[in-house]
Copies of this chain bind each other. A is one copy, B any other.
């Protein structure tokens, strides 16, 4: 496909970038460098200001008049001491209290992983992308069917998480390694995560032992004192309410533990309209906001100013089957509405890259595109599950991961303000005059000076014409992605880690395993 004489351009590009990335040999793909994207587009705001106030008012009435169940005695006691109305596990809180607590939360914070160059700012106009988290199952082109996740699969997906510069944080387990016993799974996966990646990581709030173990491992990996660990967020947790209107015991426990130690806190109600929330999207969003804000209030009461973000996972069910649907028109609007509320409260926001499709085909990409554009349009700051998600989060797929990274790179390029530069240089009047009506722009100096950097260069999209594509094997997108997956994983080199720290982590894992790990009876 290459025209003669253009090959040296490619070599120059690859060489330059590979050099910058400090990799030996030839880079497998010519990817974009790590960057923190800034989303300067005005958010899409389907609600008028009074609509925002009406959803806010409904959320407040839910908290005041209906209340939330906190299935955690400690949380109930704390909220009682804060002046909330407690009736068994039901907690009602007034809007003045909620808004005062919310006002304590910072509008922006950072998470600093073991490699400080990978520090991520959460809030403002930043939008960051993370890997798929928590599918129990795995699918790839080679296996060709849905299988339970294993540690090796999880490691491979962590390698992709590290490899791709467009992925900013390592969320939960990119697939559940079902071949590791649940009591020690967190130890092995966190060891893998902290050694295979150097990006910001997460603890599942699934019981105090897991949470404490993960905090300790992140501290060790960063070579931090306890004081340094607590000085600024080094990691985060994401909790889900048990909609409707409940926060459960282990989630609240982890939430409070991380709050006390000043780590990042994200609360994401999973309010599926028509099932766990009203069939009307404004009602589902209002319920989601109520469920999220009461957790933020608890955290801010415990530790004023602790880093909090609210997440949205408001989608709809398929009313024919009850199955959850993702990337739907209703999902997009709910995400945008939640963005308006997040700005109203001055809180950072998380949303997701999601689809209902079972395989990485056209449907998978249009649903994922809808969810990613909803993230862009809503002013989302953290995009969970942005790479690798299939079947409503029940399957992780490396091909989908790589396809998603191609899209995420394009979104990141889309956010570069240079594309819309209107300097004299970019307006190119002289170049237009030079070429006139009979020439073309390939050869002129204005083009020559800029052509290696003017346009986004994909690593997965195939821009060959049909005949050249056919001659190259007529390979459809998922197969191309699979091929890259194999190359990347086989060639993977873990990020540098001090040998002493690595040993200390391994020792910690061994000790905690010998102690039995975490109980699995919650």
Contact = CB atoms under 8 A, between A and B. Distances in A.
A279 interface: yes
Contacts of A84: none
A278 B410 CA distance: 21
B329 A51 contact: no
A200 B282 CA distance: 38
Interface stretch (A181-189, A462-470, A483-491): A462-470
B45 A42 contact: yes
Nearest to A419: B333
A246 B411 CA distance: 34
Contacts of A394: 465-466
Contacts of A422: 47, 50-51, 54-55, 282
Interface in A314-332: 316-323, 325, 328-330, 332
Contacts of A450: 279-280
Interface in A377-436: 391-392, 394-395, 403, 406-407, 410-411, 413-414, 416-417, 419-422, 425-429, 431-433, 435-436
A414 B454 contact: no
Given A273-B455, A414-B333, A454-B273, A446 B278 contact: yes
Interface stretch (A62-70, A499-507, A511-519): A62-70
A411 B366 CA distance: 11
A24 interface: no
A244 interface: yes
B421 A280 contact: yes
A26 interface: no
A6 B283 contact: no
Given A62-B429, A280-B425, A329 B419 contact: yes
Given A6-B320, A329-B414, A391 B425 contact: no
B432 A282 contact: no
Contact of A322 (B46, B365, B442): B442
Contact of A286 (B366, B392, B427, B465): B427
Contact of A320 (B366, B446, B457): B457
Q: How many copies does the complex hold?
A: 2
A279 B278 CA distance: 51
B454 A319 contact: yes
A245 interface: yes
A328 B456 contact: yes
Nearest to A145: B470
Nearest to A409: B329
A350 interface: no
B54 A427 contact: yes
In this complex, which of A45, A69, A429 has the most chain B Cβ atoms within 10 angstroms of its Cβ?
Answer: A429
A219 to B, nearest CB: 36
A281 B431 CA distance: 13
A428 B365 contact: no
Contacts of A406: 363, 366
Contact of A419 (B44, B281, B417, B466): B281
A51 B281 CA distance: 38
Nearest to A326: B463
A496 interface: no
Nearest to A413: B329
Given A41-B46, A363-B477, A478-B362, A437 B319 contact: no
Interface in A217-254: 244-246
A451 B279 contact: yes
Interface stretch (A122-130, A155-163, A169-177, A352-360): A352-360
Interface in A299-351: 316-323, 325, 328-330, 332-333, 337
Interface in A184-202: none
Given A6-B320, A283-B432, A367-B461, A466 B276 contact: no
Contacts of A469: 358
Contacts of A432: 62, 66, 244-245, 277-278, 283, 286-287
A315 to B, nearest CB: 9
Contacts of A69: 437
A441 B282 contact: no
Given A58-B429, A317-B455, A357-B461, 10 more contacts: A9-B319, A10-B320, A274-B442, A279-B441, A281-B421, A287-B432, A329-B416, A356-B462, A358-B470, A363-B406
7 contacts: A3-B321, A244-B436, A280-B454, A283-B426, A329-B411, A330-B455, A361-B478
